[in-house]
Structure 1
Amino acid sequence: MRLRALLVVLLSSISFLQAQTSVPATINIGSISGKVIDKNSKQPIPYVNVTLKQAGKFITGGITQDNGNFTIKNLALEKYTVEFQFIGYKKQTVDVTLDVNSKSVSMNTILLEEEAVQLEGVEIVKEKSTYEQKIDRKVINVGKDLISAGATAGEIMNNIPSVSVDAQTNAISLRGNENVRILVDGKPTNIDPSQLLKQIPSASIKQIELITNPSAKYNPEGMSGIINIVLHKNAGQGFNGSINNGVTFAKTPKVNSSFDMNYKVGKFNVYGNYGFNHGKQKNHGFVNSYQPNAEKAVDFNFQNKNTSHLYKIGVDYYIDDRNTFSAYTTQNQFFSSGYSTTEVNYDDPAIYDIIQNNNGRNYNPSGTYNLDYKHKFKKEGENIELEYNFNRNKGTENTIFRTFTNNTSSDDPNDITNINNNTKINLDYTNPLPNDARLEVGLETRIENTNNTFNRNYAYNSDFKYERQIHSAYVTYGRQWTKWGFQIGTRFENYKADAKFNALNSNEEKFNDQINTFYPSGYVSYKLSENNSFNFNYSRRVDRPSIGQVNPIREWSTPTVSSIGNPYLKPQFTNSFELNYTRKTKIGSISTVVFYRVITQEITRLVEIDPNDPNRNILSYDNFKDNKSYGAEISGNLDFTKWWSANIGTDIYFKTIRGTVSSSFIEKDVSIFNARINNTFKASKNLRFQLFGMYRGQEQGLQFLRKSMYKTDLGASYNILKGKGTISARASDIFNTMNFSFDGDLPYKQDGAFYWESQSIYLGFNYRFGGGKNAALQRKQRDKNETQGGGGMM
């Protein structure tokens, strides 16, 4: 409902711009202005549809800004009927006359009154996911079709254009690149993205924002951009909320549930969210290696039981019309226990076969604490905001590796503790300037530290301490007029990192780094016509090594490979250029994007032979020379008929990959092609069907070629209880075609495949309750749970 209103407003705005050019300039000398506020709360109402008519015929129009103000210029000196419309409010009509003596009329304050009808329920989750293209980001409003696609955030991410999630490692990539920054409610988290995507229930997600070229107001991490996961926070009046319950049936059942509530009265708004995930996952795979005189096969079997609890509780206190205080906390409890078997079979009788059993438990509690104060000055749109955010994550792993070889067995207990803290303080100031311009400045301090300890055989083995401090300042200036808009800015950062690594019977290793850098950005938008718009943007980005990439304590281990970090890694820098063209048609909108990136000091995976065991490999990271990548995307949100609509996306990327395998430097040019389509069929008012298909093309790696994979999903949803409840069902990968398979020839010929519980059936139920009015009051940007700032002039 809210999205439909915004689309209507946007179309009206574009029509207004087009209409301005259709009347001879000699008579367009008048203007009408004013401010629209809520009659009861006296708060400004943004995005109100302002329409000018004559004899019932539409002449031109516009929308109100964030502060409720509107101005319609270049009007003929005639009599008009001005209509004000917004969802949830009564329409108001005012007659205005422009003449020689009153060329510019100020309507002062327009009071809109809420509809008296009480809504029976609050629609928290939409039937169909919708896609919005903004100046600096693509916003996916998650609907029931995506929620039923999977139990976790990682599973529904694979259904979104531009995003891919590796089903085995849960590594997430944006536009074919894994150097992407993951935020939750616009805030950083110390949880590794591969773990985070497994912990967040899909029913707890409200929006997913893809920000491929962030402005200078954003932290510059992430070569391919930012993915912001927005959790539910309802802002309706009174008490309201929703309950989601779902079960996924595969080899074993998995439960996915969430509860959302909101109570808003007077000066207070209290909200809460709880998400629960529980279930077992069974995976298996094999690798066949063909080495001279030592052919071998490796078989894998994995079984994990994961349980996660996600809590979010917050309160907003509206002190008065100019001052607001907000606070919230997000708590995440993740438990995992697993058992795996790895069998290594050698054809050479001189080498004993190996069987390794891995029995482990992981516990990862994390918490985020956020305080925010915002003050509005007397000048409309001028404000200052101070925010404090603290995130703490403590992970423990207790694993016993039991190895059988040559009729003997040995145990290798591993205990790892990871404690990560992240503190961020930022101060932002916004000042609207004349001629539809805006100035934004800000300061930020971030302090991140980690303390990791590795005990082996119940005794000390090594520890790693890492801290980095980032102090930054930014300024952006933007302006909007007629068909053009632009924004320029830069961010200065002082970066300092210190690391210490101690190991048993070894000398202490130290590492430090300090860099002062500017990160410029720029945006230019142009509306060629009502249905055609262009946007060109540029930004300089940085990929600072993650904790996992610099931590020399092993991340995981098998009988043949161990993964460790490199504390001497340097940051890599990216200059990113992007051109976006959006075409609106009678059936929807189509967006085409081309991008080009130049990367320096690229961070790449490194495979080396273990110096202590020639039969084992070490997987780590290193910096290599400069690199380039480019690609194109086409996506559409289309309504073909009244009963058939679809979200369509296809993309292709070209890049050069580099790395070292067995002391040999490898360089290859590769391309990646992906395609997705999500169809929705409306059988009746309450019954919907979904048909989803995806194809992920083959991808060349340093050591092997990953073969293509694809799947088809079929789903349905039915509204009950007068629209308050929805029953959903989905059959995923109905042809059981989704698996990871590969062929390789470095450092020797090998092939293999991995399989997971891709084929499954999901059943879910969503119930919405509450009776508050759907008031569309102005909310702070932080209330939308979006990343900081808007990134451009709208």
Structure 2
Amino acid sequence: MTQTFRFLLFLFLLSSEIVNAQSLLIGSVLDKEDNTAMIGVNIKVTSFRDSTRTMGGITDNSGNFSIKIPPRGRYNVVFKYIGYDAFTTQISVEGEEVNLGKVLLTQNANNLKTAIVEGKITPVTQKNDTTEFNARAFKVNSDASAEDLIKKMPGMTQENGTIKSQGEEVKKVLVDGREFFGDDASLALKSLPAEVVDKIQVFDRMSDQSRFTGFDDGNSQKTINILTKPGMSNGQFGKIYAGYGTDNKYESGLNLNYFKGTRRLSLLGMSNNVNQQNFSSQDLLGVFGNSGQRRGGRLGGQGGGQSADPSNFLIGQQSGINKTTSSGINYSDIWGKKVAINASYFFNYADNVYKNDLSRQYFVGDGESQTYDEITDNNTKNLNHRFAFRMEYTIDSSNSLIFNPKFNLQNAKLDNLLLGATAVAGVNISQNITKNNSDNQAMSGSSMLLWMHKMKKEGRTISFQVNNDLSVSNNDAYLNSLNTFRNQTQLINQNGETQNQGLTNGLNISYTEPLGKKTQLQISYAPSVNNNNSNKNTYNYDSATAKYY
């Protein structure tokens, strides 16, 4: 048993290492004639096994490049630059780093002659620390969303419902530099049609405090800024769709946008029973505080054949048949010249049914065998409400205020039935009937208040930030299990109650002082107080009183 456990642990650690590992493709690009560094050379990496799997990047101001690629496989690498012959090479990736050294590009003499010039759209450009994609260089269907468009761009991927750039998760989406649907990047991208997008900018956005002081505190977030096409600041656009098929399968939804000057209103919704899910990790955060196993014997076991990790309820991760209904609204405006606001609300409901039949046969030698049969029937219902608000108030040229509260409310009901039997030579030696029921409720809220002040001396600033975070979760679970082994019977009938509460209050005072044209000093004081309480009680059923004690 111990050896088996060690072997499984080894495989788990090995697979984790493989999943998380990434290799780097590095090198530099030079002009073959004068050996000077070439800036802005487009690099495209394509997998031999799957031509749709592409990565890419461009060279920096020193002609260097560094592209994250999967740790195993063969790839085709193409270097392109206007006025130069394309250079193609093949690589085999087996380690953490592939160094191509110096790549030399040769000027194309034909391009130097006087001729008819055909302009081509440059798909990617680098502007300081911002990578900018031209939407016109990527072809999508007429009904595509901004999310569909982004997945066509080199280095941009979607994994488990999250958008990633060069392997790093995109935390926030802006539209023309303004907040859109709070911190839900995927929801923001779903709500905008691709036809209104002009450019996609990807960069590391510093925190509010850092952008004000100019001093990077290391709390940057990978951010996408969608630049809309000229003329789109005033108009109405969107789509409504519905479909019905065999076996009573249906899918419907809407996506409507109203833009008028600085005022922007977006509404979206969907309802289906074809396993199209629309969760964010925030929709289930805190609900599954009690992890449970699919097989019986524990309180709080949850259905769906999954663990209690909220990420298992992201797009495409929940097994079984899912019915989903969700809707969201986002409002953004600038009041006067001093107040910018953004408010969003999101609702999500999902009903998951998961059934599974399992049959295994073990051969123990001498013609003997052992069989194990199992039937599971699970149902999970999840309900979520999420609200976010952000206000930026420019008091005057020296003072500004930001207020950013968020609130989440979640409820999940889980029902899990398991029937299992073990037999030797056709004779049952053990049976198990386990039923888990649980009602999970969770609430979380946070607020951030930031006041920033610029003093007369350029670069001298002071800011005060107050953070508050509250989380409360309650779980009421019932376990009823009947286990029979040969002539022995064990009955477990229990009720478990779990309450968790956490409160964090924090303060961040930051002062910056310029010490020269290129040097700046920052002094910060950031105390915080954490208060966490957890209470878990388990009660056994008393048949005499029909109560749990």
Common topology (TM > 0.5): no
Q: Which has the higher contact order (CA 8 A, sep 6+)?
A: 1
TM-score (norm 1): 0.31
TM score, norm. by length of structure 2: 0.43
Structure having the higher strand fraction is 1
Would you tell me which structure has more helix in proportion to its own residues?
2
